[in-house]
Amino acid sequence: MNHQSLRSIFDEVQSIAIVGASSNPERDSYKVMKFLQDNGFDIFPVNPNLPNTRILGQKCYANLEAIEEKIDMVDVFRAIEYIPSIANETIKIKAKVLWMQEGLYSEEAESLAKNAGLKVVMNKCPKKILENN
C-alpha cells in the first residue's frame, strides 16, 4: 500500500483500539495513542495487565471484546506471538482494519484478517502516516 492509500484508511476510521497500550508517556504506544486522540480519534486502550486503570483519560480494557463501542481499527503493540489471537479478536468484534506497528509482521494474522475481509497494515506507524500528509 502506498502512503496515500494508507492515509485514506483514516477517512473511514473513528474509533481505534490500541492493544498493548502503556500508561508510560515514554512508550511508543502512549505517544501514538496521544497523537491519535489529539487528532480527533476515539481511542480505547487495551492491556490485560492494566485493568481498572485509565490511560489518557480513557478506561483501559482487558481485551477487545470487553469494549462495548464499535471499533473501526485495532492498532497492535504486542509481541509477535500474540498477533494471530489478536487478529481473531479483531475479526470477532467486526473491526475494519488490523494495523500492526513498525517491526511487527505476522503472515498468519494477515491471512486470517484478509480472509475475513479486513484491511491489514503491517510494519507501519499510523502517527508517521498521518504526520506526513
SS3 call for 66 = helix
- The residue count of the chain comes to 133
Looking at residue 4, its pLDDT comes to 86
Q: What is the pTM of this model?
A: 0.96
Q: Could you tell me the mean pLDDT of each successive run of 10 residues in the chain, 133 residues long?
A: 88 97 96 97 96 93 96 96 97 98 93 97 94 76
Name the CATH code of domain 3-131 (choices 3.30.470.20, 3.40.50.2300, 3.40.50.720, 3.30.1330.60). Answer: 3.40.50.720
Predicted confidence (pLDDT) per residue in 19-39, tens digit: 999 999 999 999 999 999 999
SS3 call for 102 = coil
Burial environment of residue 41 by CB neighbours within 10 A (0 to 12, 13 to 18, 19 or more): buried
